[in-house]
């Protein structure tokens, strides 16, 4: 099932990356690629597994993980470790660079962009003669909804 048109050039790069790992471009792997590149947000392997199952495309979790790793390698997908042992994946092709606030209570991920932080990181790297390739910026805390829930329960101030 074709959900979206994936650029031929992207399929070609995906194919080459698979070949480098001695893997073939199967219809299952292509379905994983289509699913993640047609979506937004920060999804778990299981979300993709269920989405494919709904479309009646049986793909094992192991294949999904492996495929997502390859997609991360070629830079189509961003892999997030938010510290709860379950990786989140996001479509990188459809989005510009951003960083994340991560709620320790409910796992919610909020995106932000701060040009000042970006520029400062670049300047610092230059000062240290460091060629910056990428960065991961994750701020952990409690989201507004969880703060309100806590306040309602009576232990008002969010503990550090």
- Among residue numbers 51 through 90, which ones bind Zn ion (CB under 5 A)? 90
Pick from 10, 15, 108, 137 the residue near Zn ion by CB under 5 A.
108
Q: Is 105 in the site for Zn ion (CB under 5 A)?
A: yes
Which tokens sit at 98? Answer: 């951003």
Neighbours of 30 (CB within 10 A): 17
CB of 62 to Zn ion, least distance (A): 25
Q: Is 118 in the site for Zn ion (CB under 5 A)?
A: no
Say how many Å lie between the first and final Cα of the chain, rounded: 48
CB nearer to Zn ion: pick between 18 and 143: 143
CB of 60 to Zn ion, least distance (A): 26
Q: Is 114 in the site for Zn ion (CB under 5 A)?
A: no
Q: Is 146 in the site for Zn ion (CB under 5 A)?
A: yes
- Among residue numbers 1 through 60, which ones bind Zn ion (CB under 5 A)? none
Alpha-carbon separation of residue 30 from 77, 116, 141, 146 (angstroms): 14, 38, 36, 38
CB of 140 to Zn ion, least distance (A): 11
* Cβ pair 71, 77 in contact under 8 A: yes
d(CA 85, CA 132): 27
């Amino acid at each position: 099932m074709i959900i979206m048109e994936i650029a031929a050039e992207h399929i070609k790069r995906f194919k080459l990356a698979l070949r480098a790992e001695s893997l073939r471009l199967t219809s299952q792997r292509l379905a994983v690629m289509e699913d993640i590149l047609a979506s937004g947000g920060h999804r778990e392997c299981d979300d993709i597994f269920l989405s494919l199952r709904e479309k009646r495309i049986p793909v094992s979790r192991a294949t999904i993980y492996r495929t997502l790793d390859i997609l991360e390698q070629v830079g189509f997908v961003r892999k997030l470790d938010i510290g709860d042992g379950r990786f989140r994946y996001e479509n990188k092709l459809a989005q510009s660079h951003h960083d994340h606030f991560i709620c320790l209570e409910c796992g919610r991920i909020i995106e932000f962009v701060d040009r000042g932080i970006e520029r400062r990181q670049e300047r610092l790297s230059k000062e240290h003669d460091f060629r910056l390739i990428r960065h991961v910026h994750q701020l952990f805390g409690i989201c507004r909804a969880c703060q309100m829930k806590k306040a309602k329960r009576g232990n008002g101030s969010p503990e550090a």
